[in-house]
Amino acid sequence: MGSRHVTVRVIVAQVLLCLVCSACTQGKPAALTSEEIKAETARNVRVDCAPLAMHKNYFGVRDLLPSVEKDPNFEAYTLWFFHCFADMRMEDQSSDDTAGAATVRVKVKSVQLRLSCPINIWMEKRAPQLTREHEDGHVYICRKVYEMAPAVARLAGADVLGKSYNGMGANLAQARKMALQQAEADIASVYQAKIVDLCDEISQLYDDQCQKAMRIDSKTSQHSIAENSFQQIVGSKVYIY
């Protein structure tokens, strides 16, 4: 790998919201039991996870993506993106637009999350085998983390399900938008911490360990280092889904 440096880029979970409003004049509902909460979550939180999509590209070659010229500072690099798109059905609990501005309180009634993870590897067509194996190690880490994504997304959706948000604005539409942005932030923060940041942390350890192995002329495979890095970081954390 020589003096190569692998750069990685991640994208913060992007959450797009689709609003469906309906009036509600019901009184305060009775508290749900834990089993009822689980059942409601199963009914109203849906997660659709697209297969991980990996594409290899070569410097200076125009393929499905625009051609990228090789930077002399990089021998190869891998770009990955974790996407989390959400459609939410909201219900108005109260609203007022009679005082020159609008306020609203909405409740999340259902959440549909759509996940995807596109990965692009860029390298020389005649890249050494070790370079290819190293980039494959990054893909392996992404794949392992992405396997955790549906459970994390379901957790994020369950966290906002049934939760109420307040919004203010010049009109009701803007007030609802403000309320929705708060739900968006709640979902994004969970996915960011448990998937995006996790992958970044594991990948950094992987790069550090690979550089260390190269300095001491270790014969440990890149795949083994990737697996060990994943186990070391994930094993140090507690996940409750």
Domain spans of the chain?
34-234
pLDDT value at residue 69: 55
pLDDT value at residue 4: 33
pLDDT value at residue 2: 32
- Which of 199, 192, 109 lies closest to 156 in space, CA to CA? 192
Residue spans of the chain under pLDDT 70: 1-38, 40, 60-74, 238-241
pLDDT value at residue 16: 37
Q: How far apart are CA 18 and CA 29, in angstroms?
A: 25
pLDDT value at residue 30: 55
pLDDT value at residue 5: 33
pLDDT value at residue 84: 94
| Residue 32: C-alpha distances to residues 24, 36, 41, 178 (Å) | 19, 6, 12, 28
pLDDT value at residue 74: 67
pTM for the whole structure = 0.79
